[in-house]
Every structure is written in structure tokens, then in C-alpha cells.
Amino acid sequence: MINRKTDILIIGAGPAGLAAAVAARESGVESVLVIEREKEPGGILRQCIHNGFGLHRFKEELTGPEYAQRDIDRASDLNIPVECSTTALSLSADRSVICVSAEKGLQHIEAGAVILAMGCRERPRGALCTPGTRCSGIYSAGTAQRFVNLEGFMPGKRVVILGSGDIGLIMARRMTLQGASVLACVEIMPYSSGLNRNIVQCLQDYNIPLYLNHTVTDISGRERLEGVTVSRVDQNRKPIPGTEIHFDCDTLLLSCGLIPENELSTGAGILLSPSTSGAVVDETFETNIPGIFSCGNVLHVHDLVDHVSAESQKAGASAAAFIRNKKHTTSFISVCDGDGVRGTVPQKIHRDADQEIQLMFRPTQVFRNSSAVIECDGQILSRKKAMIFTPGEMANIVLKPEMLNHVNGDSITVRMERN
Amino acid sequence: MDYKTDILIIGSGITGCALARELSGYQASVTVLEKGSDIAEGATKANSGIIHAGYDAMPGSLKAYYNVLGSSMYPSLCSQLNIPYRRCGALVIALDENEIKSVEALKKRGESNGVENLSLIGKDEILALEPNINPQVVCALNVPDSAIISPYEAAYAFADNAAVNNTTFLFDQTVENVIKNSNGFTVQTNSDTFHCHVVINCAGSFGAEIHNILCEEKLEMTHRRGQYYLLDRSSEQPFSRTVFQCPSHMGKGVLLTPTVHGNMLIGPTAEDISDPCDTATTAEGLSEIIRKAVRTWPALSVRQNITNFSGIRAHLNSGDFVVGQNKEVPGYFEAIGIESPGLSSAPAIARDLCRQVVDYMNLVRKEKTIVYQAPSCSFHDMSNEERASAVESDPAHGNIICRCEMVTEAEIRAAIHRPVGARTVDGVKRRTRAGMGRCQGGFCMPRVADIIAEETGIPLQKITKSGGSSFLLTGSIESYLKGESNHDQSEN
């Protein structure tokens, strides 16, 4: 087994890992190493060949591979080693990682700081407890995307999509363009969890009906999928008998949510938030284990890669600061989810934080003409108004360091307020 | 095509495979016909995976006899053949005063079946053993000799051992007719004709159907479906033993059990259905399991559920197993109605049937037989030192294909090259656990399909999930771009 040391080790070379690596190096840390389990860097962007990436960060519209390439090139310009086909097997609280590759065998890497950037996985059928047969033709949308865009194969011809997450919406269009018939997109909630622009450009432009308040209640087909039954649901998301619609289809794509891949993290004793399924972090993206940071979709699921990159740059810079022994001395203020808000990140803030902090969260439902507020002991510290807040789009509200002077207690709350 | 074989076994479930292994020690040609695309595709792949101690069956029944005998054979078989097996023990719990009587009756029945080490324990002792059990529990039958096994891996091990000793396994062979003639039998399948001296019916759910082709005295079978929840494996499972509910006014209860791989299995339902292939799960069945299981485990959460499945028990209406040479038709042997405790009984049934066939045909033992051991330790279960040397000896161990279950490329290639190797995505899954984890193959399935294609030469578009027309793919982008329509004929 090879033993190695590095100042900063980054697990995952998707957009989060690459942005963190570049930021760490630009903050002056020489010894930065990225490991990646796939054969090439770029993460899930490699299979996202549609455009719409980079509008915020680069002020232009890029495809997924183009966006990834910019980070890959930047890392390469800076001579940051990115070791691919290398899978991390375990992470310890002492910031060491065991990883394996065919080329180097088993390695034990001791790091001064670790940045977790493993991304997320799709929620499979089992997690939904959808009854029916266990035939072929049921794929998570990302798996289908990989088949179509990376391998050049079609996973089906007549398609129903369960869930209206962004990957599902993108695949509705992609499968249509490739000659398949997409019969319906079925969403159990009264609103889509995808971006509005994807509803318009991927469903409406192709006349694909979106069934809100509906779900798949039966799956039929012995060998290959032959059809699905879709039913309307009540307010408690329970199917209403008598509302069944049957679709003859050979493919069911699932786009029912993403789950941060935190199996390595829990092995190191990192505390996870039940709300985000990601690590509990402070405003520097440090977890409860000193020197281990988390960013990107392994921390909380984002809608836009631009925001992943921005967050990961901060995490990279923080890891560099940790290496330089720049420590906070004061205690934490915890950040709580209030009415209409879930998954606020960061979950805690150093009392002596000296920079602007973006509190990121998701509304629990659609809010029109409303405000997000930061509140402390009945006092509003900050307010952000908008025409609409939807669960499909992550929202944020800025906390300025001077506001922290007004915090007497141990916590602040982010909540929604109708105007 | 016409084939000749001395002995023809119909069905490659746990019984057929255990029998094939026994017979492979004798000088005779043995062929196993399977209607599915792989070993263990029926009840063997979808059951509770429990090696029962033997307290449940009626004293004097074949079920009682074979259960007690079979379960005593497993420990040495499993260590010899590397089959995942653990003597985890079991509790049958009584949740109110009425249920105590049932538990006491089970103890008595077990003792008359020859089951040892049975005892009744009280609430405190129960909660000390299994702290997550409903605190309303009043007493329990403690069954330390109950065990868990990976049932399909047992069938694979039996089949592999039969195959290395020259047993032929043929798949996608559905028996359509069996004719007795002067030399033995002619068996007609959907594709071929087989001439043999002896036919052994191990056809599971189709056992009665095949019996009734040959025999005047007909058998009637009921197909009884059982649905399950399978929870993700984690280091801290809520129960370390199998926990049964005793029969009550709520009907037959459900069980909760750890699996040998560290998952939790909850189920089964018991629904009589008409179609022996209808392994669908239903909303009613799944909610019934939860409703019943909370009686054992009030804190039950299915948040960790990774899949639901169901299996079909082959229940003979006469109640007991039918095992042995048929009285009407010499040379026709059968093992029918092998429902629970069929898994526990399989090695004993196989040994008995083998002995009878050997006597009937005057078979002589082979001078030498080979023992094939399944790959002994998965990469997931290795220490880091073992992993380091595994990658050193085969770099393909350095490529993790299934990230959830930590299955390497080398393990997947090895599964395809086992004596009865995997040909399908599900075949690889059950032999290696690739795709068994929390993402259910979302990441690894395309790579597993690529490896099967590489190793077997089957084109990627012909790779199936589990045989038949369960294809993964319906066309290539290339052919679409060439103008070949991707649409169904029905739409044109």
C-alpha cells in the first residue's frame, strides 16, 4: 500500500471539486491533489450535453462539457494533479483517505485538509416504494442520459417520466429529439421541482403534458416494461381511486430527487443534516470534523452549476486558510429553518465572521409576492422580496457581518413571510 | 435438436441445484433444464433466506423430517462451498397473553420434531437481546439454532459444483410435454427434445403441472405470493436475530430479519394468486407489511428501503411435500410443493432423491469429483491489507464498478466466468451484489452491461436485465441518425 501526503485532498473532480482545487491553489497552497472515480474529470457535466450552463459565472451559455472543460483547463494550467479512475474507500476523522485504483493499487493519503465534493445520486424506485413488476425499462433519468449521451444508445421508445426534476425534464426533450415519444411527465407535488425554463423549453415546446398532483401507482410488464398506471393524488399525496390513467410505454424514467452521496462522510463521523442529507457546515463550509470541508451537491443539491462553483471556490479558499492556521476564536450562532423554509446552508456561523454570508435555502412551497427574512429574537435582520419563490429554485439571502452584532442569542432563523 | 442424457432434472431452483450436485458424484450424464435465463430465478431468489430450526412443521410430516435434517447439513455445506451463512438465532414473540399459548405450542412441536436448544424467555431477557422489539412483548420462543443464508448464492454454489463435475445446465427451456416410453422418457421443450432414463421434477411452481402430465393421481397447487421490503445495509441494524410474530387474530404475522449481507428484510405477505409468474408487488401488500411489522418494531422506518420484491410459494393443497419416486411411473422422481421450509430442507431432499435414483439406476460413484468454491471474500468485506494484495494480483480489483456495494471489475468478470456464469445484469447482481445497494444500479448498470458484452460477446443491445425480452436498450443513436425509425410500428 502506497502512503502519501498532501496539504489539501479533494474527493471528486466534478465542478465542485475542480473549483475548490483551483481556489485552494490560488489561495497559495502548493500541494493540492484531486481524486476522481470516473475515467475523466468533469463529473456529471460530461453527460449534460445541453446548453444553459455558465450564464451567471461566465455570462455566456455553455454546454455541460464546455463548462467542465474551463475548470479542467484551469486546473491543468495550474498543474493541479487530478488522478482519475481512483475511488475513495474510506475517510477518517484524522483527514486520511484510503483509495484504490488499478494503476496505483491501494493508497493511504494523509491530508492537511480534505474537501468533500462527491456529488449526489438519484433516488431509485425502491425509495419510492412504487408497486408493480420488476421489469427492465425503468431507469433513473441520469442513467438514461448516460446511455444516450455518452454511450450512444436509446433506452426506450415510448417514455413516461415520473418526477419533474431538471434531469427528467432535460431527458424529456433529449429522448424526443432522438425519435422517442414522451407521453407524459408526472409530478406528485402541485408544482414542478425543476427550473421554470426547463418546463417551458423541454416540455411545453414539445407538447409533452405535465401531470401535477399525479403519481405512478402501478408498473406492468413481465420482462420489458409494458405500461404504467398514473393516478391523481390528494392533499396527503395518497392516490385517489378512480382517477387511474394507463399509459402503454416501454420506458419509465425517474427524476424524483437527488441524494447527496455521504457514505464516506458518515464513516468519518461527519454530522449530517436531516433536511439536506448533506453535512452540517459553517460559513467556511467546514464540517464538524476540523479540516474537513464539504461543497457542491454532496453538501446540498443545487439547481445551477454556477452556484456550485461559487460555493466550492469559497470552500477551497477556506481549506487553504485552515492549512495556514487561520482560526476563528469565537463560538457559533446556529441558523434555523423557519416557516416555509427548509435546508438552509450554512447551518452555523462563527460569531466573528467578517465577510458577507449567503444563506441558501429552499422554500417549502410556492410563495408569490413574498419575502425571505432573517430573524433573531423577533427582530428582522434582513429582508429579501421577490415576485415568486419556488421549491424548484434555491433561494438565498445575504447576512452582512455587522448584522451579527445584533444577535444576542445563540440562533437566527430564516423564514418566509407573505407581503 | 435431440439430446440424450441419463438423468434429466427439470428446474434449477435450490432443490434442483442441490440434487444436481449430489448426482454429479455418480457415473451418469445429468442435464438440468431451466425455463428462466439463470439459476434460482423462481422462489429461490425471492424468499426470507432463513434456515429454520424446524419447530414449525407438523410432527411426522415430510416438512418436519427434511427441515430438521436439511438445516443440520447447511453449516458444513456452507463452509465447504463458501456460501454466506450465519447462525443468527430467532425469536418468536408473543405480544399479548393469548399469543403465549401459540408460542408454547411451537416449543412443544419443535421438541417433538427433534429441535434442540428451544427455550421460553421473558420480557426482560427479550429486550436485552433485541432492544428494538415492541416493549409490549410478553414472552418469546428463543431459537438459537435458526440461521440465515443467501438462498440464491447457495443455488449458484450447488450448480457450479455440479457443472464442474460435468452436469449440463440449459436455460430458456420450458418443458411442454413428458412422454413415458420403453427406454425411459422423451421430454419436449419449447425448443428441443430430450431422451432420458430418469426424469426428476424439481419444477417449483410448475411441479404439479408436470406431475399431472405423467400421472393419473393428480396434484393441486396454490400459488401463494409473498411481498417484501429490503432495507439498505448499515453498520447498525435494528435486529441481530430473525424475529417472527406468532399466528394471531391478525393472521399469520410478518418477520423481520437481518440478511447475511447486512440488510434488513421485512415480510412476507401471503396472497393466493392464479398466475404462478405474477411477482408484482401491490400497494395493498406493501402497506399490509408495514401495518403488521410495526407490531414487532414500533420505530419501523422504510426511509432506508432500497427495493420491494415478491416471490411465489409452491403450496400443494395436500399440505405436505411430495418427495421420491412416483408410485405410478417408475423412473419418474419428484420434489413438489417445496414451499417453506423448502430452502432449509433442500440438501436433505436432494440427498434422499439422489439415493433413490442411484438405487434405481444402479449408479456407481465417480472415482474423483472436483470441489468448486465460490469466490471466498468480496472486496467489500476484505481488510485493507487484503485489498492491497488483491489489486496487486489483479489490477481489475482497483476499478470499483458498484460504488454502493464496493464491487470491483475483477469480481464482475469472475462472476461471468463461474462454471454456471452470469449472462444478465441481474445474474451479475446476485452473484456479486453490483446494483444491490442504495442507488439500485443507477451508476453501475451501464458499466456492468458493458462488461457482460465484452466478456460474453453478446452485443450490448442484446444484453438483458433477466433474460427473455428484458432488454436494457431499444436502439442506437447511430441507427436513428441513419434514418431508421425509433418509433413503434403501432405508431406508423
pLDDT band at B282 (very low <50, low <70, confident <90, very high): very high
| CA-to-CA separations, B126 to A125, A367, B131, in angstroms, rounded | 35, 51, 8
- pLDDT tens profile B79-124: 999 999 999 999 999 999 989 999 999 999 999 999 999 999 999 9
CA distance A320 to B43: 57
pLDDT band at B16 (very low <50, low <70, confident <90, very high): very high
Measured N-to-C along each axis, helices B151-164 and B62-81 cross at an angle, to the nearest 10 degrees, of: 70
For the whole model, what pTM was predicted?
0.95
- pLDDT tens profile B265-280: 999 999 999 999 999 9
pLDDT band at B484 (very low <50, low <70, confident <90, very high): low
Instruction: From A354, A347, A355, select the one nearest A285 (Cα to Cα).
Output: A347
CB A65 within 8 A of CB B431: no
- pLDDT tens profile B113-129: 999 999 999 999 999 99
Instruction: From A74, A5, A31, select the one nearest A320 (Cα to Cα).
Output: A31
* Inter-chain residue contact B488 with A157, CB threshold 8 Å: yes
**Which of chain A's residues have a Cβ under 8 Å away from the Cβ of B413?**
none
Residue of chain B whose alpha carbon sits nearest to that of A102 = B398
When CB atoms are compared, the residue of B306, B392, B475 closest to A154 is: B475
Look at residue B490 and tell me whether its pLDDT is greater than 60: no
Residue B458: count of CB within 10 angstroms of its CB? 15
CA distance B63 to B57: 6
Residue of chain A whose alpha carbon sits nearest to that of B309 = A134
Look at residue B485 and tell me whether its pLDDT is greater than 60: no
Q: ipTM for the complex?
A: 0.94
Provide the shortest C-alpha distance from residue B289 to chain A (in Å).
Answer: 12
When CB atoms are compared, the residue of A89, A126, A157 closest to B306 is: A126
Which of A46, A83, A89, A106 should one mutate to test binding to chain B, selecting the residue with the greatest count of B CBs within 10 A? A106
R_g (Cα) of chain A, nearest Å: 22
* Inter-chain residue contact A146 with B392, CB threshold 8 Å: no
Which of A129, A150, A171 should one mutate to test binding to chain B, selecting the residue with the greatest count of B CBs within 10 A? A129
**Which of chain B's residues have a Cβ under 8 Å away from the Cβ of A1?**
384-385, 388
Three-state DSSP string of chain B: CEEECCEEEECCCHHHHHHHHHHCCECCCEEEECCCCCCCCCHHHCCCCEECCCCCCCCCCHHHHHHHHHHHHHHHHHHHHCCCEECCCEEEEECCHHHHHHHHHHHHHHHHCCCCCCEEEEHHHHHHHCCCCCCCCCEEEEECCCEEECHHHHHHHHHHHHHHCCCEEECCCCEEEEEEECCEEEEEECCCEEEECEEEECCHHHHHHHHHHHCCCCCCEEEEEEEEEEECCCCCCCCCCEEEECCECCECCCEEEECCCCCEEEECCCEEECCCCCCCECHHHHHHHHHHHHHHCCCCCCCCEEEEEEEEEEEECCCCCEEEECCCCCCEEEEECCCCCHHHHHHHHHHHHHHHHHHHHCCCECCCCCCCCCCCCCHHHCCHHHHHHHHHHCHHHHCEEECCCCEEHHHHHHHHCCCCCCCCHHHHHHHHCCCCCCCCCCCCHHHHHHHHHHHHCCCHHHCECCCCCCECCCEEHHHHHCCCCCCCHHHC
Positions in chain A short of pLDDT 50: none
Q: In this structure, what C-alpha cell is assigned to residue B298?
A: 414500533
Look at residue B487 and tell me whether its pLDDT is greater than 50: no
CB contact A328 to B (< 8 Å) = no
Look at residue B482 and tell me whether its pLDDT is greater than 90: no
* Inter-chain residue contact B487 with A179, CB threshold 8 Å: yes
pLDDT at A193: 86
- pLDDT tens profile B296-338: 999 998 888 999 999 999 999 999 999 999 999 999 999 999 9
**Contact map slice: A 168-207 vs B, CB within 8 A:** 178-181
**Which of chain A's residues have a Cβ under 8 Å away from the Cβ of B398?**
85, 100-106
pLDDT at B251: 65
Mean pLDDT check: name the lowest of B244-253, B288-297, B340-349: B244-253
Q: What is the mean pLDDT of residues B271-293?
A: 96
Q: What percent of chain B has pLDDT over 70?
A: 97
Three-state DSSP string of chain A: CEEEEEEEEEECCCHHHHHHHHHHHHCCCCCEEEECCCCCCCHHHHHCCCEEECCCCCCCCEEHHHHHHHHHHHHHHCCCCEECCEEEEEECCCCEEEEEECCCEEEEEEEEEEEECCCEEECCHHHHCCCECCCECEEEHHHHHHHHHHHCEECCCEEEEECCCHHHHHHHHHHHHCCCEEEEEECCCCCCCCCHHHHHHHHHHHCCCEECCEEEEEEECCCECCEEEEEEECCCCCECCCCCEEEECCEEEECCCEEECCHHHHHCCCCECCCCCCECCCCCCECCCCCEEECHHHCCCCCCHHHHHHHHHHHHHHHHHHHCCCCCCCCEEEEEECCCEEEEECCEEECCCCCCEEEEEEECCCEEEEEEEEEECCEEEEEEEEEEECCCCCEEEEECHHHHHHCCCCEEEEEEEEC
pLDDT at A56: 96
pLDDT at B250: 61
Q: Is B195 a catalytic residue?
A: no
Q: What is the mean pLDDT of residues B425-441?
A: 95
